[in-house]
């Protein structure tokens, strides 16, 4: 059953237009009852919800214009009228969109600066950069705003955009409804099909999109050129076509045909153009909106093509808590030839960072350790220098910042955390009493530890010899990771506390 997302079909319309559904309703009592109950429920409000980005503005207190609802999860009240009714009630609705991609761009620019390079002015970059269009043309757009889905990457390979106008058109076309015109657009761009401008006077309006009506602004311009609509009338036509209200559409058709006839366009041709324009207007995209999105898409593509390490680090930084996305970005970095260095307690920051053109994995991106705890680790290292060994690492950290659970997570994930910059700790002889043998057994040479807990145990060499009757005093305590308490060291020969 065909479905227009801009004007979804109702159950009553489906029953009226689908013979098989009517037959099932006649022959099956349960289906008949189900449909009758559903018809009563359809259109009722299931729950209170708030528009993701809609903000309304009035010329007086809102309580004088619309009823309000206080969502317990929000500090701001919401109108009880939905988006279709707030404007007739006297309010103006704006959509304020917050995009994390802008933060990705900002962090990428900071990474570029930290590498000693000049910070690019993103508002002044060339919109005809060959490297950017080459990257988009091969579909290497993972991480690029609006262009990273599998279907979009396939479309990029077909379209091979070479201008900002192509990106604007693609963002507008790649939606349910107009998506069917993507192949038409591509074929006309590469000369495999001739553009159809509908009327010679419309060529200036439709030339940039090869005769495909894509934008709402094109609908309004067509009405102005062919039928003499004013800008206000053209906007009313656009709204009527979007809402598909038959009464309004009939009125607009009469007005469109009369204006077209005055300009020498036949009624038959005017009707054809009106029907075609109405079809496109049902899901036409606002070009000004698409252009803003396309500019951000181009900027992210430019960063990826010209500063890949900084851009990928910015992406990973914003999704450091999303392991699935991190895995995708890691594979993409590997594919484009970037090296991602493993986490290192003496090199990594809490966030992702750049190191000689390579990406250093963030301590805060290790699962379940907590970003604030890793900020503390980085701050302690910065204040007191690199950690000398696991004992130094444990003793210098504040247990209120890095608690037992965080250390246990580190123990589990220790094989993936680099400790190579920590020098092996040699157990001092003075920590053992004078009666213990001075030569450790061969088992004292322990393998490289894989976790903090193993590191603490491996630091104790195995001893053989007579029992030590008296421990040596004055041995400093160490922090044992498992219990996160200060505990005395046990003499390995007698197991007595020293």
Which of 4-13, 60-69, 272-281, 408-417 has the highest average model confidence (pLDDT)?
Answer: 60-69
Percent of residues, the chain, with pLDDT higher than 90: 38
pLDDT (0 to 100) of residue 317: 93
- 77, 180: one domain: no
399 domain-assigned: no
Q: 321-340, pLDDT tens digit by residue?
A: 888 999 999 999 999 999 99
Among 290, 318, 338, give the residue marking a domain's end.
Answer: 290
Task: For residue 238, report the phi and psi dihedrals to the nearest 5 degrees.
Answer: -60, -45
Among 242, 274, 290, give the residue marking a domain's end.
Answer: 290
pLDDT (0 to 100) of residue 440: 45
Q: 140-167, pLDDT tens digit by residue?
A: 999 999 999 999 999 999 999 999 999 9
Percent of residues, the chain, with pLDDT higher than 70: 80
Q: Using pLDDT thresholds of 50, 70 and 90, give the confidence band for residue 439.
A: very low
pLDDT (0 to 100) of residue 88: 87
pLDDT above 50 (res 481):
no
Tokens read off for 495: 């197991």
361 domain-assigned: no
Asked whether 172 and 178 are in contact (CB, 8 A), the reply is yes
In whole angstroms, what is the distance from residue 437 CA to residue 463 CA? 7
478 domain-assigned: no
Query: What mean pLDDT is predicted for residues 306-326?
Result: 92
- 211, 65: one domain: no
Which of 97-111, 380-394, 431-445 has the highest average model confidence (pLDDT)?
Answer: 97-111
- 136, 163: one domain: yes
94 vs 475, more confident: 94
Q: Using pLDDT thresholds of 50, 70 and 90, give the confidence band for residue 445.
A: very low
- 64, 113: one domain: no
Q: 107-138, pLDDT tens digit by residue?
A: 999 999 998 899 999 999 999 999 999 999 99
314 domain-assigned: no
Q: Which of 93, 167, 98 is nearest to 129 (CA)?
A: 167
218 domain-assigned: yes
Among 243, 258, 290, give the residue marking a domain's end.
Answer: 290
Sequence-separated (6 or more) residues with CB below 8 Å from residue 174: 151, 152, 155, 182
Asked whether 79 and 69 are in contact (CB, 8 A), the reply is yes
Q: 27-36, pLDDT tens digit by residue?
A: 999 999 999 9
Query: What mean pLDDT is predicted for residues 179-196?
Result: 93
- 193, 265: one domain: yes
Query: What mean pLDDT is predicted for residues 469-490?
Result: 36
pLDDT above 70 (res 414):
no
- Mean pLDDT score across all residues of the chain: 80
Domain that includes residue 227, residue range:
101-290
- Residue 392, beta-bridge partner list: none
In whole angstroms, what is the distance from residue 69 CA to residue 47 CA? 12
- 140, 105: one domain: yes
Asked whether 336 and 307 are in contact (CB, 8 A), the reply is no
pLDDT above 70 (res 2):
no
- 135, 218: one domain: yes
Query: What mean pLDDT is predicted for residues 435-442?
Result: 45
- The whole-angstrom distance between residue 267's C-alpha and the CA centroid of its chain comes to 49
pLDDT (0 to 100) of residue 313: 95
Q: 207-248, pLDDT tens digit by residue?
A: 999 999 899 899 889 999 999 999 898 888 887 777 767 778
- 29, 88: one domain: no
pLDDT (0 to 100) of residue 6: 53
Q: 367-403, pLDDT tens digit by residue?
A: 878 888 889 989 998 998 888 877 788 888 888 888 7
260 domain-assigned: yes
Tokens read off for 283: 């899901």
Domain count, the chain: 3
- 282, 155: one domain: yes
227 domain-assigned: yes
Query: What mean pLDDT is predicted for residues 53-61?
Result: 89
pLDDT (0 to 100) of residue 403: 78
Helix 231-243 and helix 216-227, axial crossing angle in degrees, nearest 10: 120
Choice among 222-236, 399-413, 426-440, 482-496 with the minimum mean pLDDT: 482-496
Asked whether 406 and 373 are in contact (CB, 8 A), the reply is yes
pLDDT (0 to 100) of residue 3: 56
pLDDT (0 to 100) of residue 406: 73
- 21, 109: one domain: no
Query: What mean pLDDT is predicted for residues 460-489?
Result: 36
- The whole-angstrom distance between residue 441's C-alpha and the CA centroid of its chain comes to 56
Q: Using pLDDT thresholds of 50, 70 and 90, give the confidence band for residue 418.
A: low
- 127, 261: one domain: yes
- 36, 155: one domain: no
447 domain-assigned: no
pLDDT above 80 (res 470):
no
In whole angstroms, what is the distance from residue 221 CA to residue 219 CA? 6
């Amino acid at each position: 059953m065909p479905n227009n997302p801009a004007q979804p079909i109702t159950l009553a319309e489906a029953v009226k237009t689908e013979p098989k559904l009517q037959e099932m309703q006649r022959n099956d009592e349960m289906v008949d009852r189900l449909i009758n109950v559903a018809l009563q429920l359809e259109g009722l409000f299931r729950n209170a919800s708030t528009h993701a980005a809609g903000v309304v503005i009035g010329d007086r207190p809102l309580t004088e214009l619309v009823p309000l609802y206080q969502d317990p999860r929000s500090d701001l009240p919401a109108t009880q009228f939905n988006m279709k009714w707030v404007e007739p009630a006297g309010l103006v609705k704006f959509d304020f969109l917050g995009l994390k991609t802008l933060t990705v761009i900002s962090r990428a620019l900071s990474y570029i600066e930290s590498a000693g390079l000049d910070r690019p002015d993103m508002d002044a970059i060339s919109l005809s950069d060959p490297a950017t269009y080459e990257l988009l043309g091969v579909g290497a757009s993972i991480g690029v705003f609006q262009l990273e889905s599998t279907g979009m990457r396939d479309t990029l390979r077909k379209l091979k955009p070479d201008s900002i106008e192509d990106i604007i058109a693609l963002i507008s076309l790649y939606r349910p409804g107009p998506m069917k015109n993507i192949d038409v657009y591509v074929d006309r761009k590469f000369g495999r099909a001739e553009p159809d401008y509908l009327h010679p006077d419309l060529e200036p309006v439709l030339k940039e999109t090869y005769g495909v009506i894509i934008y709402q602004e094109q609908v309004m311009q067509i009405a102005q050129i062919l039928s003499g609509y004013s800008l206000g009338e053209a906007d009313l036509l656009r709204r009527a076509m979007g809402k598909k209200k038959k009464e309004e559409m009939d009125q607009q058709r009469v007005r469109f045909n009369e204006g077209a006839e005055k300009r020498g366009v036949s009624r038959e041709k005017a009707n054809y153009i009106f029907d075609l324009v109405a079809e496109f207007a049902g899901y036409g995209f606002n070009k000004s909106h698409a252009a803003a999105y396309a500019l951000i898409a181009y900027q992210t593509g430019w960063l990826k093509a010209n500063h890949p390490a900084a851009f990928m680090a910015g992406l990973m930084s914003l999704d450091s808590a999303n392991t699935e996305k991190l895995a995708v970005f890691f594979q993409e970095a590997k594919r484009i030839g970037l090296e991602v260095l493993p986490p290192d307690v003496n090199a990594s920051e809490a966030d992702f960072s750049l190191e000689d053109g390579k990406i250093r994995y963030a301590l805060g991106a290790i699962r379940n350790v907590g970003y604030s705890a890793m900020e503390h680790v980085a701050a302690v290292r910065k204040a007191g220098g690199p950690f000398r060994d696991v004992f130094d690492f444990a003793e210098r950290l504040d247990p209120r910042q890095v608690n037992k659970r965080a250390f246990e997570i580190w123990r589990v994930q220790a094989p993936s955390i680099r400790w190579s910059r920590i020098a092996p700790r040699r157990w001092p002889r003075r920590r053992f009493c004078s009666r213990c043998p001075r030569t450790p057994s061969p088992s004292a040479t322990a393998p490289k530890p894989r976790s903090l807990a193993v590191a603490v145990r491996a630091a104790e060499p195995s001893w053989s010899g007579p029992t030590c009757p008296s421990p040596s005093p004055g041995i400093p305590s160490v922090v044992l990771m498992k219990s996160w308490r200060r505990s005395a060291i046990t003499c390995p020969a007698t197991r007595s506390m020293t």
